[in-house]
Structure 1
Amino acid sequence: MDSSRRVLIVAYDNAQILDIASPSSALDIANWFGASPPYSIELGTLGGRATRSSAGIWVGGGQDLETVGGFLDTLLVVGGLGCEGAAADERLLAQVRRLAENSRRVASVCTGAYVLAAAGLLDDRRATTHWRWGERLAERHPSVAVDVDPIRIRDGNVYTSAGVTSALDLTLELIEDDHGPTLARAVARELVTQVHRPADQAQISLYLSAPPPEDRLVRDLMGYVVGHVAEDLSPSALAARAGVSVRHLTRLFGAHLATTPARAVRVARTEAAAQLVRNSGLPMAAIARRCGFGSAETMRQAFLDRYGVTGDTLRRMPDMPAPRVAPRHETLVP
């Protein structure tokens, strides 16, 4: 049995550099903290040549994919603007298929799912990708059950994740699967990030999905909603505040937020409640009242619908403890 876990990261021209850096850095830090067996991290490209990331930064060549042999613990394909070209490259697809057959698990970050799908590795599986690219992926590969709501999905030994920063969430999950939660939390702490987000957490926060600037009424109303979650935010109350009919308000929300006023309010209240659950010691019933929920049970169901976990589960996720094992090259860490 090998003394290390071989992880091969597959890159190509116009890949997203964070998709390469996040997994490799997190796995490297896991090694600092005594991952046993440790990870052996390799970068693979066609011909072993250097590749130019979409940011214009060149990433030095690594392993020639056509000559990589032996068993891999993890085959991970990155995403980026070059994903469509990569998914159309039969030489690359042939190597991804071959390597997947000799891998314990296969994963993709962001639009790396395009490559896995083109290689046939997502057929009859549920998968995710960056929310902006999901519809196109589903159209091209009807045999893949594409779901762009969660930030990552595991189907058997195949893992897919959403855009860019979810690469870190995915890698922390892999580390936890391999070595347990203590090491995963130590790595998260070293990276100055929270413990990895629940897999079913929605990709897009309401706070990040602002309506178009030209629609001032919807924008102003949502700003009011976010700042006054405990108040009466019924459709009739919001319509009265905006000086329009409930029917017109519903049309505006459908056109600019692709949802109803009631659902938008529920999401705003759920996200506000999530902040209080994580950052306060208030009882769930008190948080429910502060955030405009009729009861703690109503808030609990909202959490399940939005994040896939209850408020109690989110609160029980412990703070990241200080590492028990000092990094081997601690002097190099700022």
Structure 2
Amino acid sequence: MRPWAARRRLDGVSVRNVLFILYDGVVALDAAGPLEVFAAANAYAAGHPPATPDGAAYRIRTASAHGRAVRTTSGLTLSPDLDLQAAPLPHTVVVPGGSTAPDGSVVPDADAVAWLRGNARRCRRIASVCTGAFLLAEAGLLNGRRATTHWSRTAELAARHPGVRVEDEPIFVRDGRVWTSAGITSGIDLALALVEEDLGRDASLTIARHLVVFLRRHGNQQQFSTQLRAQSAERPGLREVQQWIADHPDSDLGIEALARRANLSPRHFTRAFTAETGIPPGRYVDRTRLETARRLLEDSTDSIEHIARRAGYPTQEAMRRAFHRTLGLSPLQYRAKA
């Protein structure tokens, strides 16, 4: 492997080398989304001195085994810049997710895993998108670390790699120098977070606006809502109750009130709701209210008292206890991290 400073300096300005590992069956958007963020960061850096002589904040390269063209899951063919085995050591390596085997399991690319096992520990940062986490785990890079992947694969990742502390809610997780993210678009969120670490918050917000994406979703944001997490009830009456809970978290959502709305007895309602959604109605309500409060803390400047009322909590203290029980943070601490 040729020597290549992971972080070069031109006229006193840092340039970070970023390497995207490609392989047959890679998901095109897993690579293209973060790549566009880094490219946009270069455009930002060019207009915000100090900048390198050519305006670049990042040297972006793609690589595959033997430099071969790769075919993505969508049928798109990508031509990498470099032979992976000869690629200079980068500051940041990004591993996109890929296709699955006929039985639905994830099969990590052997060449990519071999490179990661031999070289990634010398990189300053390691990042994966979606099922790219399986390649990091196979290379031993996630042992003892917190990590995430697409919600449909978290159980598989945990079963295959028990040494990894898998989290199924966040859109991305940082544990030291290793970053992992969930589904396709969360790779953009992760890349924006990396750019923010390097160039500052204004850069990440400007790039997010340019790419017309949500303004820097933080890693603790959930991969999907309570409504998506639970199964949709088969009975129209129960589906209407699910929607009512989401739209009216500050209403009376006790069992008796919800049962009346479904035209069922409380006992029958509780049994039917749990059977059809996979979660008891009380827990469903608790999750919906917490989710509502989290969203309001993230997206508004309303007072904690006002948010507690809008989310359906009887008091600020009740909301604080719910946050501590589930997230280990107070509402104010959660807002500070958002």
Query: Considering the TM-score relative to the shorter chain, is it more than 0.5?
Result: yes
Residue equivalent to 1:322: none
Q: Which runs of 5+ in 2 are unaligned?
A: 1-6, 10-14
Letter in 2 for 1:46: A
Distance in 2 between the 1:172 and 1:309 partners?
24
Residue equivalent to 1:329: none
Residue equivalent to 1:2: 8
Letter in 1 for 2:59: S
Q: Give the drift of 1:273.
A: 4.0
Letter in 2 for 1:238: L
Letter in 2 for 1:44: A
Distance in 2 between the 1:247 and 1:168 partners?
45
Q: Which moved more, 1:136-145 or 1:29-38?
A: 29-38
Instruction: Summarize the Cα distance change of 1:112–1:256 in structure 2 as closer, same or farther, 3 Å threshold.
Output: farther
Residue equivalent to 2:174: 154
Alignment of structure 1 residues 110-259 onto 2, 5 Å: 110-209=130-229, 211-212=231-232, 214-259=234-279
Q: Give the drift of 1:32.
A: 1.0
Q: Which moved more, 1:107-116 or 1:220-229?
A: 220-229
Is the 1:9–1:44 contact (alpha carbons within 8 Å) kept by the matching residues of 2? Answer: yes
Q: Superposition RMSD on alpha carbons, in Å? A: 2.7
Letter in 1 for 2:60: I
Q: Which moved more, 1:149-158 or 1:125-134?
A: 149-158
Distance in 2 between the 1:106 and 1:277 partners?
30
Q: Give the drift of 1:165.
A: 1.0
Instruction: Summarize the Cα distance change of 1:304–1:24 in structure 2 as closer, same or farther, 3 Å threshold.
Output: farther
Q: Which moved more, 1:212-221 or 1:9-18?
A: 212-221
Instruction: Summarize the Cα distance change of 1:255–1:8 in structure 2 as closer, same or farther, 3 Å threshold.
Output: farther
Equivalenced residues, count: 316
2:76 aligned with 1:57: yes
Distance in 1 between the 2:321 and 2:82 partners?
48
Is the 1:253–1:259 contact (alpha carbons within 8 Å) kept by the matching residues of 2? Answer: yes
Distance in 1 between the 2:133 and 2:266 partners?
41
Q: Which moved more, 1:274-283 or 1:123-132?
A: 274-283
Instruction: Summarize the Cα distance change of 1:308–1:153 in structure 2 as closer, same or farther, 3 Å threshold.
Output: farther
Instruction: Summarize the Cα distance change of 1:115–1:279 in structure 2 as closer, same or farther, 3 Å threshold.
Output: closer
Instruction: Summarize the Cα distance change of 1:239–1:307 in structure 2 as closer, same or farther, 3 Å threshold.
Output: same
Residue equivalent to 1:72: 90
Secondary structure at the aligned position of 1:76 is classed as: strand
Instruction: Summarize the Cα distance change of 1:33–1:313 in structure 2 as closer, same or farther, 3 Å threshold.
Output: farther
Letter in 2 for 1:43: T
Secondary structure at the aligned position of 1:293 is classed as: coil
Instruction: Summarize the Cα distance change of 1:58–1:94 in structure 2 as closer, same or farther, 3 Å threshold.
Output: same
Letter in 1 for 2:152: R
- Overall identity of the aligned pairs, in %: 39
Residue equivalent to 2:65: 46
Residue equivalent to 1:325: none
Secondary structure at the aligned position of 2:116 is classed as: helix
